[in-house]
Amino acid sequence: MSVINVGQAVVLGIVEGLTEFLPVSSTGHLKITEGLMGIPVDDESVVGFTAVIQVGAIAAVLVYFYRDIIRIVTAWGRGITDPAERYHHDYKFGWWVIFATVPVVVVGVAAKDLIEGPLASLWVVAGSLIGGSVVMWLADRLGRHKRGEDDTSLTDAMLIGSSQILAMLFPGFSRSGATMSVGLMLGLDRVAATRLAFFLGIPALTGAGVYELPTALGSGAGAVPLAVGTAVSFAVAYASIAWLLRFVARHSFTSFVVYRLLVGLLLFGLLGTGTLSA
Interval 231-243: pLDDT, tens: 999 999 999 999 9
The pTM for the full model equals 0.85
Count of alpha carbons within 13 angstroms of residue 171, beta-carbon side = 28
Q: Tell me, what's the pLDDT at 216?
A: 65
Phi, psi of 127 (to 5 degrees): -65, -40
3-state secondary structure of 183: helix
Is residue 220 within 8 Å of 3, Cβ to Cβ? yes
Which burial class, exposed, middle or buried, applies to 125 when counting CB atoms under 10 A from its CB (0-12, 13-18, 19+)? Answer: buried
> Which residue ranges of the chain lie beneath pLDDT 50?
none
Distance separating the N- and C-terminal Cα atoms of the chain: 24
Helix axis angle for 44-64 and 66-81, nearest 10°, is 80
CB 40 within 8 A of CB 277: no
Q: Note whether 198 and 175 are within 8 A (CB).
A: no
What confidence score (pLDDT) does residue 54 get? Answer: 84
- 142 torsion bin: left (phi>0), alpha (psi -120 to 50), beta (else): alpha
User: Which residue stretches of the chain are H helix?
Assistant: 6-19, 26-36, 44-64, 66-81, 89-110, 112-116, 122-142, 154-162, 164-169, 175-185, 190-218, 223-248, 254-272
C-beta of residue 220 within 8 angstroms of C-beta of residue 5: no
Torsion angles phi and psi, residue 58, rounded to 5: -65, -40
pLDDT value at residue 64: 94
Closest by CA to 142, choosing from 193, 196, 184, is: 184
pLDDT tens figures, 59-109: 998 999 999 999 999 999 999 999 988 989 999 999 999 999 999 889 988
